[in-house]
Amino acid sequence: MLKFNKSVKSLAVIAAVSALALTGCGRADTGSSSNGTSAAAGFPQDSEIGVALPQKTSENWVLAESLFNDGLKTAGFKGNVQFANGGVSEQQNQISSMITKGAKVIIVGAIDGAQLGTQLKQAKDAGATIIAYDRLLLNTDNVDYYVAYDNYKVGQLQGQALLDGMKAKKPTGPYNVELFAGSPDDANAKVFFDGAMNVLQPKIDDGTLKVVSGQKSFEQAVTQGWKAENAQKRMDTLLTGNYTSKALDGVLSPNDTLARAILTSVKAAGKPTPIVTGQDSEVESVKSIMAGEQYSTINKDTRALVAHAIQMVKDLQAGKKPEVNDDKSYNNGNKVVPAFLLVPHIVTKANAAKEYANDPTLSALTK
């Protein structure tokens, strides 16, 4: 049984983030990877393909479920798509059951990327290929590919949007801000935060930004389980403790669910609406942006991400090596995982109509 403690886990994430920083999120050319990952020899078209999704903590996961079900079916595979709303042990059991059913590929959106080592080893031993989906799998050799939007870039876009939004409202600082991060068990959360701090830290250092609570570290900013109620509670406490006589100009929020919780808290406190960032282009947040409440979100089209994951499965089925476009950035603590990274886009009220032009649901909200 592999054990992962917190410090090992955070070291791995730091390694991943440092690798990102060192390469400046550089894109490597597609090509053979040097880490021994090999293409499968191919397998029958009607094989079982497992998709292990985390909890339904944001709309993108719910969208992914039906896209995987439909896409795998259309491609001729037997898709087995599971959510693990009960938590890590449920996800471990689901992966074990996919192995028993002879899955040729297992796509994993992990709840906790460092807690699946035993199951991933069993899956590899049984001959399956493992694809980390959206969230990296940490501290294991047994992950073959990673497909995701560029998480560090997401953070940078959020940091920049926070600055731009505040400047548009009030041309000169200093600005009073608070910082929120995602769930510490999700490997993405630290990467988003570090991307944002890459833009914000210099502005904190030169006095343009004041984090009035003093809570600037990832550990202080985290939101356990990506839960709205946890963000709302923390915002309530921050407001009572620091903003009875001060204005709050902006809040860094890592996603839309938390952005709306933060706005609810601010509203309940009777404060004017600050600039609040987000991510995921959730329906309620796009409505809020169009109404002038939430300032920004990120467009990470789930359709494109699932399509790329399924393309990887098709390549593996045909005995081909899946295409990757980055074989430097994502060190999971054990190895650099060959990745296909998609490009995230910032969305504000100003560009929403253009950004969502090819999404019937979202574009209807921008009219």
Residue from 33, 158, 160, 188 in contact with ligand BGC (CB under 6 A): 188
Q: Which residues of 243-257 are buried (b: 16+ CB within 10 A; e: fewer)?
A: beeeebbbbbbbbbb
Q: Determine the interface stretch with ligand BGC among 7-15, 63-71, 182-190, 236-244 (rule: CB under 6 A).
A: 182-190
Quick one: the chain helix, strand, coil %, rounded to 5?
A: 45, 15, 40
What mask, x for binding ligand BGC by CB under 6 A, covers residues 267 to 286?
------------xx------
Cβ distance to ligand BGC smaller for residue 111 or 128 = 111
- Which residue shows structure tokens 């499965």? 313
Strand pairing report for 296-299 and 345-348: antiparallel
DSSP letter at 305 equals H
What mask, x for binding ligand BGC by CB under 6 A, covers residues 248 to 267?
-------x------------
Rounded least distance, CB 230 to ligand BGC, Å: 12
**Alpha-carbon distance 12 to 332, whole Å?**
6
Rounded least distance, CB 363 to ligand BGC, Å: 20
Cβ distance to ligand BGC smaller for residue 33 or 115 = 115
Site for ligand BGC in 35-64 (CB under 6 A): 57-58, 60
Assess 91 for contact with ligand BGC (CB under 6 A): no
Query: Residue 367: enclosing H or E segment and its boundaries?
Result: none
Assess 129 for contact with ligand BGC (CB under 6 A): no
Q: Determine the interface stretch with ligand BGC among 33-41, 63-71, 91-99, 180-188 (rule: CB under 6 A).
A: 180-188
Surface-to-core class of residue 348, CB atoms within 10 Å of its CB (0-12 exposed, 13-18 middle, 19+ buried): middle
Q: Identify the CA nearest to 95 among candidates 56, 62, 136, 54.
A: 54
Q: Determine the interface stretch with ligand BGC among 181-189, 244-252, 326-334, 335-343 (rule: CB under 6 A).
A: 181-189
Q: Where are the beta strands (DSSP E) in the chain?
A: 48-53, 78-83, 105-108, 129-133, 145-149, 175-179, 209-211, 250-252, 275-276, 296-299, 339-342, 345-348
Assess 297 for contact with ligand BGC (CB under 6 A): no
Q: Which residues bind ligand BGC (CB under 6 A)?
A: 57-58, 60, 134-135, 182, 186, 188, 226, 255, 279-280
